[in-house]
Amino acid sequence: MTVLTGSSGSLRFRGNTIGRCRNWSVSINRDSLEDTGIGSYERTYIPGLVGANGTSTILYDPTEHQVRELLNSIFENEAGDKGIEFVFDKRESKSLACKAFVTSVSPSVSVGEVQAVSVSFQITGAISGGF
């Protein structure tokens, strides 16, 4: 049985691996649509639209071009055409790939610690890959 650990995964932005990604998470949701007919006494539902968003904590190194590009993408007004890939296992190519745009960048600084930046993404369109 293979157990995945954090060291097996990574975060990629526009095809480039973010080297100092501490963690990431993705939340995928599906709406449920009620389709109960008139005269029915039990509610029934069908699957609706899928939506997703994600977050990541990145250790900020101003010399890393990929990190600066990711963080500064919040200032771009283009549609969500930024390629994001959430990699579970680099060895077996298990990942979720999608297009997304950055919705939040929250840098924090603590004395004596590495500067970390929390980033939130809104995923747009289809998600490819799987678990």
Residue 39 domain flag? no
Residue 109 domain flag? yes
Residues whose CB is less than 8 angstroms from the CB of residue 38 and which lie 6 or more positions away in sequence, other chains included = none
More confident position, 5 or 127:
127
Residue 36: how many other CB atoms lie within 10 Å: 11
Q: What percent of the chain has pLDDT over 70?
A: 92
pLDDT recorded at residue 92? 73
CATH number at residue 21: 2.30.110.20
Report the Cα–Cα distance between both ends of the chain, in Å, rounded. 15
Tokens representing 75 are 């200032």
pLDDT in tens, 8-43: 789 999 888 998 888 999 999 999 999 999 999 999
Residue 1 domain flag? no
Residue 120 domain flag? yes
Arithmetic mean of pLDDT, 50-73: 91
Residue ranges making up the domain that contains 24? 6-33+44-129
Residue 73 domain flag? yes
Average pLDDT of the chain to the nearest whole number? 88
Strands 82-89 and 116-129: unpaired
CB-based burial label for 46 (10 Å; 0-12, 13-18, 19+): exposed
Arithmetic mean of pLDDT, 94-106: 92
pTM exceeds cut of 0.85: no
The Cα 91–Cα 121 span in angstroms is: 25
What is the domain count for the chain? 1
User: Which amino acid is residue 58, in one-letter code?
Assistant: I
Residue 119 domain flag? yes
